[in-house]
Amino acid sequence: QKEVEQNSGPLSVPEGAIASLNCTYSDRVSQSFFWYRQYSGKSPELIMSIYSNGDKEDGRFTAQLNKASQYVSLLIRDSQPSDSATYLCAVKALGSARQLTFGSGTQLTVLP
Amino acid sequence: ETGVTQSPTHLIKTRGQQVTLRCSSQSGHNTVSWYQQALGQGPQFIFQYYREEENGRGNFPPRFSGLQFPNYSSELNVNALELDDSALYLCASSLGRQGENHGYTFGSGTRLTVV
């Protein structure tokens, strides 16, 4: 079982719709959770972080965390074509390096 | 405040050769982490350097090695290149070995192609 799993996609939504991206993780002691956006040929860009159970909103983005279910999600409201990218879920480990463990990403396409 | 910079941006090497990739940390950051991202995959942790010493390593063979310099810039060296080493190599800097709870900001990466 992979440590961090995401819907492989691809996911297509019409412009203006809500895009829902999901992620599960296996390490119960994980404390920090992140969503990165990666455009084709570019490096990942941090867009959201969440540490506590519940919702965290930032503009059109909402991250949701449920530690009991080991589940984290990202909602993108009023999706725009410019949101078309691969979205990576990452979990921070408790090892000495506090390294990030990434899922393989979900490719999102927002159709005009 | 300057961000993380990496060089070169692109590189083509032949199987069996050696390569050195470079990373300049964000101002004030003393920790550097390196990741490898193969096509269609998420980044994989290679290793981290804190104050010039290795502070954790992922599941990569010894032919992947690194250095961190007194100014906190860093190098990633890969010996005996294999075709599967073709990937985007990402560097991230941060402050402190364990203190930070937030995510990393990556540099723009080095695209390595091994032929």
- pLDDT, mean of residues A53-78: 96
- pLDDT, mean of residues A76-89: 97
Mark which residues 26-85 of A lie under 8 Å from B by CB: 31-32, 34, 36, 42-46, 49, 51
Q: What is the pLDDT of residues B11-40, one digit of tens each?
A: 999 999 999 999 998 888 888 999 999 999
Q: Do A97 and B47 touch (CB under 8 A)?
A: yes
CA distances from A45 to A79, A108, B96 (A): 18, 15, 21
Q: What is the pLDDT of residues B86-113, one digit of tens each?
A: 999 999 988 765 545 567 889 999 999 9
With a cut of 50, say whether residue B51 has pLDDT above it: yes
Alpha carbon distance B57, B25 (integer Å):
19
Residue B34 contacts A, CB cutoff 8 Å: no
* Higher pLDDT, residue B102 or A54: A54
* Contact list, B109 vs chain A (CB under 8 Å): 42-43
Closest residue to A100, CB basis, from B104, B108, B109: B104
Q: How far apart are the first and last CA of chain B?
A: 38
